[in-house]
Amino acid sequence: MNYRIILSPGARADIRAAARWYEREDMNLVVRFLAEIRMTLRRVAQNPKAFPIRQYVVRRALTRKFPYAIYFTLYADAVFVRAVSHQRRADTVWLNRSNGRV
């Protein structure tokens, strides 16, 4: 079963901000970064329980080629992505975001 992915407004903003940064560095990097995010979200949709619980009910999926983590909550029919954060960034970013679905 593939779960439906729901990106929170904060997660969308995280992806856009990271993409803008990579775009300034190298146009090829932004393309590769966005492809990596899509691939990681696809892995999450296919098997969300394979990813470890980081805190409470929030799970974390690491990207393979970029230092980013996708923080999400699993529901019966969907995965709610709370944040997409650089791995060196403080955990408070995703802890302080809404636990509800959009």
89 in Cβ contact with 17 (< 8 Å): no
pLDDT tens by residue, 49-90? 999 998 889 999 999 999 999 999 999 999 999 999 998 876
**Architecture in CATH of 4-93:** 2-Layer Sandwich (3.30)
Task: Write out the DSSP string of the chain.
Answer: -PPEEEE-HHHHHHHHHHHHHHHHH-HHHHHHHHHHHHHHHHHHHH-GGGSPEEETTEEEEE-SSSSEEEEEEE-SSEEEEEEEEETTS-THHHHTS--S--
Biggest alpha carbon–alpha carbon distance for the chain: 40
Give the pTM.
0.89
35-59: pLDDT as tens digits: 999 999 999 999 999 999 988 899 9
Q: For the chain, what are the domain ranges? A: 4-93
Whole-number pLDDT of residue 88: 83
